[in-house]
Amino acid sequence: MLQVPALAELPFLRHGFSTRACGNLATRYGPPAEVAAARRRFASLVGIHPANVAHFALTHSSRVGLVSEADTVAIDDTPYRISIRGLLADASSQDLHFTTVQGISNQQGIDSLVTATPNVGLFMIVGDSAPVMLVAPAGRGVAMVHVGLVGTVNHVIDHTVESLCRVAECDPSELIAAIGPTVGPCCYALGQSVTWGQVVSSAFYAAYGPTGPGIVVRKNRYFFDLPAAIKALLARNGLTPTNIHALNICTACADSPFFSHSAGVAGRFGALLALV
Ligand SMILES: [Zn+2]
């Protein structure tokens, strides 16, 4: 397990990112019993009780869910299961509003979770996209958001910052952010999974242009610097640049300690975050 030092020193917080040594955490890539054991091992390493965890979907939506203990399941429960009763931000609206719902499922897409409840774990299984953690001062709230290239253009970061600040009653400049392991500009060549045309037509490109953060040109090939794009978007949402931290470990490099989708490694790693 690896941690971001700036978060590890916070007494009211537990967090971590599982390395390959912890095992594969996705049932698509291994026997359920082994995956369940690896997930419980990860929860133990982080120091979170495995019974109260809210899972992520990774659907590239911009919905933000508010999680309480009633929304949690065990960490080794059905993959991707989630049932959120409160929605802080909906993809269909730029105006944030809290909505009480009967239970929105992952099929509908929730890529960001916020909680102010201690001992509720926010859990995400990932291969190359970035798990991004946000922490409000004095442990008044935390958020975890899934950000891939699509997430950098669909306002999921904007929605998450605003939602967390509303729940924790704080200013964005007070938040601490940590960007977990993700595919780096060394390995994220555009034109494979994402075409250059998609980037040019995106809101991200419209906002920043060809020389903005995120767009890297090497030897006439285009690469995407996802961590740089996320840092820029967090700062644009009012975070203090010195409060934005990153592990800066590429998941897809040959020597990566993490599972990677694009590197063809059969497995997924986890990100786990909770107030205590
Ligand atoms: Zn790399």
Determine which of 56-70, 92-106, 117-131, 261-275 has the lowest per-residue pLDDT on average. 92-106
Cβ neighbours of residue 113 closer than 8 Å, sequence gap 6 or more: 54, 56, 64, 65, 66, 67, 84, 122, 143, 144, 145
Question: Is the distance from CB of 14 to CB of 48 less than 8 angstroms?
Answer: yes
Centroid of ligand 1 to alpha carbon of 263 (angstroms): 9
pLDDT digit string (tens) for 109-148?
A: 788 999 999 999 999 999 889 999 999 999 999 999 999 8
Residue 56 or 7, more confident: 7
Centroid of ligand 1 to alpha carbon of 65 (angstroms): 31
Chain centroid offset of residue 64 CA: 12
Centroid of ligand 1 to alpha carbon of 260 (angstroms): 10
Q: What residues does the ion ligand 1 have nearby, CB within 5 Å?
A: 184, 186-187, 250, 252-253
At position 79, the amino acid (one-letter code) is P
Is the confidence at residue 108, as pLDDT, over 90?
A: no
Count of all residues that appear for the chain in the document: 276
Centroid of ligand 1 to alpha carbon of 6 (angstroms): 23
Question: Is the distance from CB of 164 to CB of 134 less than 8 angstroms?
Answer: yes
At residue 192's C-alpha, the angle toward residues 187 and 196, to 5°, is: 95
Question: Which is nearest to 251 in space by CA: 234, 270, 237?
Answer: 270
Mean pLDDT calculated for residue range 231-257: 93
Strands 176-179 and 244-246: parallel
Residue 11 CB burial class (10 angstroms; 0-12, 13-18, ≥19): exposed
Give the per-residue pLDDT at 58.
79
- The structure's pTM equals 0.89
**Which backbone phi and psi does 243 adopt, to 5 degrees?**
-95, 5
Centroid of ligand 1 to alpha carbon of 254 (angstroms): 7
- Of the chain, the end-to-end C-alpha distance in Å amounts to 19
Give the per-residue pLDDT at 211.
65
Residue 36 token pair: 């369940």
| Other beta carbons less than 10 A from residue 206's beta carbon | 11
Residue 198 CB burial class (10 angstroms; 0-12, 13-18, ≥19): middle
At residue 156's C-alpha, the angle toward residues 151 and 160, to 5°, is: 140
Determine which of 38-47, 129-138, 175-184, 211-220 has the lowest per-residue pLDDT on average. 211-220
Q: Domains in the chain, start-ordered, CATH in brackets?
A: 5-183+238-275 (3.60.140.10)
Question: Is the distance from CB of 56 to CB of 146 less than 8 angstroms?
Answer: yes
pLDDT digit string (tens) for 73-97?
A: 889 886 555 556 666 765 444 444 4
Residue 179 or 54, more confident: 179
pLDDT range class, residue 104, cuts 50, 70, 90 = low
| Other beta carbons less than 10 A from residue 49's beta carbon | 17
Determine which of 28-37, 62-71, 166-175 has the lowest per-residue pLDDT on average. 62-71
